[in-house]
Structure 1
Amino acid sequence: MSCQDTPPLQAAQRKPPLAAELQGDPFKETAADGFVLGGFTWRHALPDIQRPVVIINAATSVRCRHYSRFADYLFANGFDVITYDYRGIGESRLGSIKSLNASWTDWGALDFEAMLRRAQRELPGQPIDVVGHSFGGCAAGLGESGQIIRRLVTVGAQFAYWRDYAPEQRWRMFGKWHLLMPLLTLFCGYFPGKRLGWLEDTPAGVVRDWSTPTARYERRPSGKAMLARTGQLPFANVRAQTLAISISDDPYGTIAAIERLLSYFSHAPKTHLRIAPQDIGEQQVGHFAFFRSAYQATLWPIALNWLQTGKLAPDTPGREVPRS
């Protein structure tokens, strides 16, 4: 397999946007270290300090366009919405990523933090909510300004500790993500996920964080560096009403994995909702399908109601996982 670093597509080469993206206005935002990030804003014409703005944090190496229909749904239900790509991904990919110094902690402490500050600047006075998918839920705890988050919804959110993977798929996933992915990254200088059809191409620092087999985020390479630099991880800054949604057939988002991440949000009131596909009349959902428009009538209202009220509706499918 060639390791040639595929450059990002120029605007003229890109596929036409999804219909749901037509309401999203593109923007550029500069992070604290000077890196220029790209994303989209769904914004109502008239300002309203009562209207919340939702920042959507993507999963690892998933483009923000994956969440466009969900963003449009939130917009149609009265929210302003910001989607964005982490550095090195999608709208935030600036040429080759072989030499890009980017980690999971950079994606949270720099990129997500930049979005929190953008929301405060561009939509002053409005409540700020966050939806985080997979690593995006972890990123929500890495921003210095986490105390301004009003409500947080995470979906399948964890930081890939291999022993937490679903037992029946654990060794296959370990081989894929903790052996093959870092080996290809060592060979290529980045992970060529796009060629494999697994993920977007991914910076080496992110791969090191993902593949390090430790149960503690502060022992991942970039977490360790952040702890040494600041003396603490900023998860405790988040005091948002937090709903963690997990799907029973998600091999990443097992109860152990979700609870492991939730334990870092020590000052946030937390609810963990566990949903089986059968609870919504489906055979399977998995890790990525929540944000597909097929689930607009069954899964999306759960997140919407939490963002609107901070509560679960009485008829919410699934069960609450008891808090220890």
Structure 2
Amino acid sequence: MNLQDMPSPAPSHIELPLPAFAPGEPFKEPAADGFILGGFTWRHASHDSARPVVIINAATSVRCRHYARFADYLHVNGFDVITYDYRGIGESRPASMKGLRASWSDWGTLDFEAMLKRAQHEFPGQPIDVVAHSFGGCAAGLGASGPVIRRLVTVGAQFAYWRDYAPAHRWRMLGKWHLVMPLLTMLYGYFPGKRLGWLEDTPAGVVRDWSTPTARYEKRPSGRDLHVKTFAAVKAQVLAISISDDPYGTIPAIERLLGYFTHSRKTHLRIAPEDIDQTDVGHFAFFRSAYQATLWPIALSWLQSGELAPGTPGRLVPRS
């Protein structure tokens, strides 16, 4: 289905230009197990129960600072915004990574859940939306408070099943992330990704989850005690954005994760770089300020109205 075939959505707020970048206010928030998480808040001076607050879930081992300009963009356009780092990453990194108990499921059931709780007590009565990158889309389905999420925008969201990787890159990615990464983790007690230029240093439990070759999240090491009911409890309006040159976010990978959100209204938008006059975008570039005029308004429109604006680039992936 082409976007030209879609009915026009309800009018949304006008996008405002982005002024000089304003950094967020740092905070510390304990998770339910006492682990202290760090992050940043962009808040408006006065409380408004009609103003949504957006939580941004990062990709695996990507610092929340990567999303700061996008967070500021949302703030300028009328949202309160929370960014944070999962335990072991960035603002939530302990003194030593060795022995740190942290898995993908901890990042969702404890860390993201802590942000949902924070949003509710820091911004009482306000709607809660989520923007989630890569594994952050999976984390969005793991919080016990997931039913409070009103709208969810995911970008390249999947949980790294190797057969879903783009065929042209599959064997190289399999060797890098499913062989070399776990071997180095065994040697160091954590994955020393920063010194290699492969994302941030990463807890061993996260590496075990990532590198396990199974198509079902609940069969990952930390997912075996989970019930997928938390995904089903999310009733948000979901927009899944995928980029055609993203070797992680292929259509099968995106659809595999979307299948867990059984009670959400889901829209999958597939964008090719040429749709926005680019030669490449890939897995990480969406949140760079270079795409403020082309890609960011897509997420903004969905958060404002739950619809895609007329003329949105890309095509809709048919729902099965």
Matched, 1:250 2:262: no
Contact 1:29–1:37 (CA under 8 A) maintained in structure 2: yes
What do the CA deviations read for 1:16-71 (whole angstroms, capped 9, x no partner)? xxx97744000000000000000000000010000000000000000000000000
4+ residue segments displaced more than 3 Å: 19-23
Contact 2:137–2:158 (CA under 8 A) maintained in structure 1: yes
| Partner in structure 2 of residue 299 of structure 1 | 295
SS of 2:224's partner is helix
Contact 1:20–1:69 (CA under 8 A) maintained in structure 2: no
CA shift, 1:314, in A, is 1.2
| Partner in structure 1 of residue 185 of structure 2 | 185
Give the distance between the partners of 2:91 and 2:229, measured in 1 at CA: 28
- CA distance 1:200–1:123, shift in 2 (3 Å): same
Give the distance between the partners of 1:130 and 1:20, measured in 2 at CA: 24
Give the distance between the partners of 2:191 and 2:233, measured in 1 at CA: 32
Q: Which amino acid aligns with 2:136?
A: G
Stretches of structure 1 lacking an aligned partner (at least 5 in a row)? 1-18
| Partner in structure 1 of residue 280 of structure 2 | 284
Contact 1:60–1:135 (CA under 8 A) maintained in structure 2: yes
SS of 1:226's partner is coil
Contact 1:20–1:68 (CA under 8 A) maintained in structure 2: no
What do the CA deviations read for 1:138-192 (whole angstroms, capped 9, x no partner)? 0000000000000000000000000000000000000000000000001110000
TM normalised by structure 1 equals 0.92
| Partner in structure 1 of residue 255 of structure 2 | 259
Contact 2:234–2:263 (CA under 8 A) maintained in structure 1: yes
Contact 1:57–1:140 (CA under 8 A) maintained in structure 2: yes
Structure showing greater relative contact order (alpha-carbon pairs closer than 8 Å, 6 or more residues apart): 2
Q: Which amino acid aligns with 1:250?
A: D
- CA distance 1:20–1:112, shift in 2 (3 Å): farther
| Partner in structure 1 of residue 176 of structure 2 | 176
| Partner in structure 1 of residue 124 of structure 2 | 124
Contact 1:218–1:233 (CA under 8 A) maintained in structure 2: no
| Partner in structure 2 of residue 34 of structure 1 | 34
Give the distance between the partners of 1:226 and 1:272, measured in 2 at CA: 26
Matched, 1:139 2:135: no
Give the distance between the partners of 2:21 and 2:31, measured in 1 at CA: 24
Matched, 1:55 2:55: yes
Aligned counterpart for 1:317 among listed residues 298, 313, 320: 313
Identity %: 80
SS of 2:46's partner is coil
CA shift, 1:226, in A, is 2.6
Stretches of structure 2 lacking an aligned partner (at least 5 in a row)? 1-18
Q: Which amino acid aligns with 2:69?
A: R
In terms of mean alpha carbon deviation, does 271-280 or 22-31 score higher?
Answer: 22-31
Q: Which amino acid aligns with 1:316?
A: T
Give the distance between the partners of 2:261 and 2:97, measured in 1 at CA: 32
Give the distance between the partners of 1:20 and 1:301, measured in 2 at CA: 18
| Partner in structure 2 of residue 11 of structure 1 | none
